[in-house]
Structure 1
Amino acid sequence: MIDLVINARKKDLGGFEVGRVLPFHQRRMVGPFIFLDQMGPAEFAPGAEAINVRPHPHIGLSTLTYLFEGEIMHRDNTGATQAIRPGEVNWMTAGKGVVHSERTDPLKKSQGGPMHGMQAWIALPLESEDVDPSFHHHGEADQPAYENGGLFARLVAGEAYGAKAAVPVSSPLFYVHWELAEGVRTAPPPGRGAGGYSERALYVVRGEVEVGDQTFHEGQMIVLEPAAEPTVTAKRPSTVMVLGGEPVGERIIWWNFVASSQAKIDAAKADWKAGRMKLPTEDDLEFIPLPDVPSTPEPAPKPDQTHPV
Structure 2
Amino acid sequence: MMKLNTIKRAGRSHFVNMGPIRLRQPFPTQHIEMIDPFVLLHHYGPYQISETNNPFDLGPHPHRGFEPVTFLVQGEQLHRDSLGNESVVKSGDVQWTTAGRGIIHAERPTKEFVKQGGTIEGIQLWLNLPSEKKMMEANYQHEKHEDFNVITSEDQQITTRIIAGELDNTFGRIKTQTAVNAFMIDAKAGGEQIIKYSKSHQGMVYLLKGKVTVNGVEAIELDKNQLMEFNQDGEGFSIKAEKDSQLLFLSGEPINETVATYGPYVMNSQTELLEAMRDYQMGKMGFLPAN
**Which residue identity does 1:96 align to in structure 2?**
R
Who is 2:114 aligned against? 109
Which range moves more in the overlay, 137-146 or 33-42?
137-146
Please report how far the alpha carbon of residue 14 of structure 1 lies from its aligned counterpart in structure 2 after TM superposition: 4.5
Please report how far the alpha carbon of residue 265 of structure 1 lies from its aligned counterpart in structure 2 after TM superposition: 0.8
| Aligned partner (choices 192, 198, 201) of residue 201 of structure 2 | 198
Who is 1:222 aligned against? 228
Is residue 251 of structure 2 the alignment partner of residue 244 of structure 1?
yes
Please report how far the alpha carbon of residue 117 of structure 1 lies from its aligned counterpart in structure 2 after TM superposition: 1.1
Change (3 A) 1:13 1:33: same
The secondary structure found in structure 1 opposite 2:151 is strand
Who is 1:188 aligned against? 195
| Aligned partner (choices 162, 166, 170) of residue 163 of structure 1 | 170
Instruction: Find the aligned partners of 2:204 and 2:32 in 1 and give their Cα distance.
Output: 11
Who is 1:154 aligned against? 161
The 8 Å contact of residues 196 and 237 in structure 2, kept in 1 or not, is answered as no
> Root-mean-square deviation (CA), in Å?
1.9
The secondary structure found in structure 2 opposite 1:108 is helix
Instruction: Find the aligned partners of 2:24 and 2:164 in 1 and give their Cα distance.
Output: 21
Where does the alignment leave 5 or more consecutive residues of structure 2 unmatched?
A: 1-5
Change (3 A) 1:167 1:230: closer
| Percent of aligned pairs sharing the same letter | 24
Who is 1:56 aligned against? 61
The 8 Å contact of residues 101 and 285 in structure 2, kept in 1 or not, is answered as no
The 8 Å contact of residues 157 and 192 in structure 2, kept in 1 or not, is answered as no
Instruction: Find the aligned partners of 1:151 and 1:184 in 2 and give their Cα distance.
Output: 6
| Aligned partner (choices 272, 275, 280) of residue 280 of structure 2 | 272
Change (3 A) 1:30 1:164: farther
Instruction: Find the aligned partners of 1:153 and 1:58 in 2 and give their Cα distance.
Output: 30
Who is 1:41 aligned against? 46
Instruction: Find the aligned partners of 1:85 and 1:129 in 2 and give their Cα distance.
Output: 29
Where does the alignment leave 5 or more consecutive residues of structure 1 unmatched?
A: 286-309
The secondary structure found in structure 1 opposite 2:197 is coil
The 8 Å contact of residues 157 and 165 in structure 1, kept in 2 or not, is answered as yes
Instruction: Find the aligned partners of 2:70 and 2:221 in 1 and give their Cα distance.
Output: 23
The 8 Å contact of residues 188 and 242 in structure 1, kept in 2 or not, is answered as no
| Aligned partner (choices 85, 88, 91) of residue 86 of structure 1 | 91
Instruction: Find the aligned partners of 1:201 and 1:230 in 2 and give their Cα distance.
Output: 10
Please report how far the alpha carbon of residue 22 of structure 1 lies from its aligned counterpart in structure 2 after TM superposition: 2.3
Please report how far the alpha carbon of residue 274 of structure 1 lies from its aligned counterpart in structure 2 after TM superposition: 4.9
The 8 Å contact of residues 31 and 200 in structure 1, kept in 2 or not, is answered as no
**Which residue identity does 1:100 align to in structure 2?**
H
Please report how far the alpha carbon of residue 273 of structure 1 lies from its aligned counterpart in structure 2 after TM superposition: 4.1
The secondary structure found in structure 2 opposite 1:236 is coil
Is residue 271 of structure 2 the alignment partner of residue 263 of structure 1?
yes
Residues 203-239 of structure 1, C-alpha deviations (whole Å, 9 max, x = no match): 0111111123111112611001111443211111110
The 8 Å contact of residues 178 and 241 in structure 1, kept in 2 or not, is answered as yes
Residues 5-59 of structure 1, C-alpha deviations (whole Å, 9 max, x = no match): 2321212344432111222333333342211111111222344224211111111
Instruction: Find the aligned partners of 1:33 and 1:266 in 2 and give their Cα distance.
Output: 22
The 8 Å contact of residues 205 and 249 in structure 2, kept in 1 or not, is answered as yes
The secondary structure found in structure 2 opposite 1:270 is helix
Which range moves more in the overlay, 51-60 or 31-40?
31-40
Change (3 A) 1:254 1:215: same
The secondary structure found in structure 1 opposite 2:141 is strand
